[in-house]
Chain A
Amino acid sequence: MSIRLRLILVLTLATSAIWLSAALWINVSTRAQVERVLDARLSEAANMVSSLMADRRIALNDGTGHATIALPMETGYSRHLSCQIWSLQGDLLGASSGAPDAVLSDKDGFTTTRIHDEPWRVFTVVNPQAGVRVMVGDRMEVRDRLVGDVVQGLLWPLAVIFPALALLIWVSVGRGLAPLAHLEGALLSRQPDDLRPLPETPDPREIRPVRRALNNLFRRLDDVRRTERDFTAFAAHELKTPLAGLRTHAQIARMATDPAVRDRALAAIATSVDRTDRMVRQLLDLTAIDQGAAPVERLDVAALLADIIQQAEDQAHARRVRLVTQADDLPPLSAPRILILSALRNLVENAIQHSPPGGTVSLTALCNGPGIRFVVRDEGPGIRPQDRDRATDRFWRGPGREVHGSGLGLAIVAAAVQRMGGRLDLGQGQGGQEVALTLPLSDTLQDRGGS
């Protein structure tokens, strides 16, 4: 249901309910007032007639005919006031014009009776001196009409006001909701890729949080999209450059007449293919980590280390780097295999790449309280302290051109560690770089969603 319709319903129903209960209350209290006033008048009129009788100022014919008494109450609502004078013996001595023939009441004081199927209010007073009983009554209908007129006077305006009120609410709610409609229009007219903040307009206070929240959302979406775009642009750049190298060297190999130049070009082609292969593998790793759908497995740590070493052996051999592993006796690690493997593999590959020829790279697994700590050490120059914050950025490369990696290695490690709920420490070891990766060892380790 629209806010407008709901407001109109609530407001008109509430207004009507208040009005109706007011009318009801007024009905009750007015009736009581009217009864009191009219009853007083009945008794006053009866007593007046009775006292006139006592003074003999009204002469009654002794016959049975009706005497017409001119009572000074012949206008408006009082027109139906009727008077009967009865002898104490029960003979009708006189009656006002229009008074019914039947006896008005058979009791003294106030009574409510039915005469000719109409309810009457009657006051009877007995005058023993004059030997008469004076009855003055009026029809209840008169009283009902009086009260009804008062209440109707209240209800008529409601009938007029109700639609006016509804119209007023409709219009003002419409105006009140106009900023929302503007907001809707502004959002609908946007291009799908337009994530600029909504323009500052003099919104009512209620709309401002909505606009703020929307702008906040836009900003975050824009950040995510920019990161993705940057990543794609970087990835394209990073893949195109080795391709350009490949193509250039292929052309050189074809053009060159000098066998030495040709051999060098062919060697460069082989290197480029290896690098491109590693980069594609790393991009795939990163995609897998970002998607985060990897199942958690129970992994034997020693076997894991053996796997890593085996995969890195060729690279280590080519750079004449010695690989050493050492593992405590550890319980199985529950983690997604692809995450832990790609994290450790990239650490070891990085370490080999940055090792001086003849150097040693060690991979150690230690029990660390409730967790497990993997430490990779090399004897290379290490990451400069001022670069440590940036070192895990995607495509960040350290200075110096002896080693040319993809700039993805540590980014992969950082992403994988974050997904596993672990911690990555880039520190300076003795005479080289030391990277520590701490993971919780609990069996309840789940693949943490989100990034």
Chain B
Amino acid sequence: MRILIVEDDPVLSDGLTVGLGLSGFTADAVASLADARAALAHSDFAGVVLDIMLPDGLGTDLLAEMRAAGNLMPVLLLTARDQVRDRIAGLDGGADDYLGKPFDLDELAARIRAMLRRQGGRASPVLRWNGLELDPAAMTALQDGNRLRLSRREFAILHALAERPGHILSRAQLEERLYGWQEDVESNTVEVHIHHLRAKLGREVIQTVRGLGYCMAASGPVPG
């Protein structure tokens, strides 16, 4: 899941990028509102972690802009301003969640997962589909009760596809999910991961839609 981090402190920003990466996210960081606007306009993110005090303005202003433009992307405000009234103002201003600094990295990751889950209209943290069980928090996958050994990237692709079975994701969309800006994407890397996943899950789980991309067969997930 690709997350945009808007934080002007370089050390914390670096920590968030690496830390969220370790928690299974792909994180890209910008340090100003202007850069955040550009990033949101040009890339597809699943959610935003937004600081409030930024060198060129307030994060809450960006949030208001996004909501005014009808952008419903989940936003978590991550800020030192964590008085009750700040939190109320942030949440009422359109934020999906609010976390005060300093924070626990695991809690931040859990809150982002919860936020994205709510966005997908699901209450259960575990995705279930045709005997397949994905736990995004633990980054574990079970098939018919057997633990699958998946790499971080393989898990991310499976997660992306399992979120909306039947929905086709192009190779470019999957690459966006997998890689931040700093990472080099090899041209056939998504194919390689899909190939490995099919080897572990069985060929029929992920279908190729010629010329469009990949999807999971739409026979419907078993409600969890």
Contact = CB atoms under 8 A, between A and B. Distances in A.
Contacts of B42: none
Interface string A257-289: 000010011001001100100000000000000
B102 A252 contact: no
B31 A401 contact: yes
Interface stretch (B11-19, B90-98, B138-146, B168-176): B11-19
Contacts of A238: 80
A193 to B, nearest CB: 15
A244 B14 CA distance: 11
Contacts, number: 85
Contacts of A401: 8, 10, 31
Contacts of A244: 9, 12, 15, 80, 101-103
Nearest to B22: A255
Interface string B16-55: 1011001000000001000000000000000000000101
B11 A271 contact: yes
Contacts of A233: 81
Given A251-B106, A252-B105, A401-B31, A242 B18 contact: no
B104 interface: yes
A241 interface: yes
B102 A237 contact: no
A262 to B, nearest CB: 10
B172 to A, nearest CB: 28
B55 A242 contact: no
A244 B15 CA distance: 9
A33 to B, nearest CB: 87
A252 B53 contact: no
B101 A404 contact: no
Given A247-B104, A247-B105, A251-B106, A242 B15 contact: no
B19 A237 contact: no
Interface in B100-146: 100-106
A261 B19 CA distance: 10
A246 interface: yes
Contact of A247 (B10, B56, B102): B102
Residue of B11, B18, B101 contacting most chain A CB atoms (<10 Å): B11
A245 B18 contact: no
Interface of B: 8-12, 14-16, 18-19, 22, 31, 53, 55-56, 79-81, 100-106
Given A244-B12, A248-B12, A252-B22, 11 more contacts: A238-B80, A239-B80, A240-B101, A243-B102, A244-B103, A247-B104, A252-B19, A271-B11, A275-B11, A401-B8, A404-B10
